[in-house]
Amino acid sequence: MYAMAALALAVTVLSGCRDHNSWRQKLIVEVETPQGVVSGASVIQVDSWFGQFPASGNEVNYEVTGEATVVDFGGGRYLFALLGGSAERFYYALEDRGRDRGRDLDRIARMQGESRVLMPENYPLPVTFAYITDPASVIRVDPDDLAAHFGPGYALSSITLAITDEKVTKGRVEAVLGWLSEYPEPSVVPQIDPKDFSFEAKLRHGDFIRR
């Protein structure tokens, strides 16, 4: 009886250390330009926890707080690395991740100061605006061909993700996109047809800021 109780307690303790984790991660985007390397960075907080109901099984839930990374090229031209997929980005950047996602997430939360250069398959979605004051002018950017959007000499140099204790970034996106409203609604492009499933129609304000 005592052995069974001790085993149950051990399982509870081991599960408890993995049920919830939080960390801050810094995304750094570096771009080659005719004037040299230009970079932008933002820090977000990620909270993760396992489902609370039996049907959830090993499903992991995430909450992200922070904002997209902004790279300012001057002259009203910006590149935004959106928040979508950011919760699991460091997990997928682990070369030695195992079968137990809970243990890997617990490990990430303790990897202070460690960083990973992201592979293309793990890049955040980059976008720009033809007119920064017009939400409807949003353009999806090909990370392999920045020159097509910004001109000759522009090329993505690297995207790095680091676990940090820096404060969550605030205000940089709002300073550029003053028309953004609260997460998660509405869509970035106003008056979207409900039957429109294009990239522009699916883009939300929460892809830029989450509080």
Dist. CA 200–CA 202, nearest whole Å: 6
pLDDT-based confidence at residue 5 (cuts at 50, 70, 90): very low
pLDDT tens sequence across 153-185: 999 999 999 999 999 999 999 999 988 875 455
pLDDT greater at residue 198 or residue 89: 89
Q: What is the mean pLDDT of residues 136-164?
A: 96
Would you state the pLDDT for residue 13?
A: 39
Based on DSSP, count helices (H) and strands (E) in the chain, helices before strands.
6, 10
The H or E element that residue 132 is part of is none
What is the identity of the amino acid at 102?
A: G
Domain ranges of the chain: 20-169
Strand-pairing partners, residue 47, are 22, 63
Question: What is the torsional sign of CA 206, 207, 209, 211?
Answer: positive
| Structure confidence by residue, pLDDT tens digits, 8-48 | 434 433 444 457 899 999 999 999 999 999 999 999 999 99
Is residue 62 a contact partner of residue 114, using CB atoms and an 8 Å limit? no
Distance CA 70, CA 40 (A): 5
Per-residue pLDDT band at 201 (split at 50, 70, 90): confident
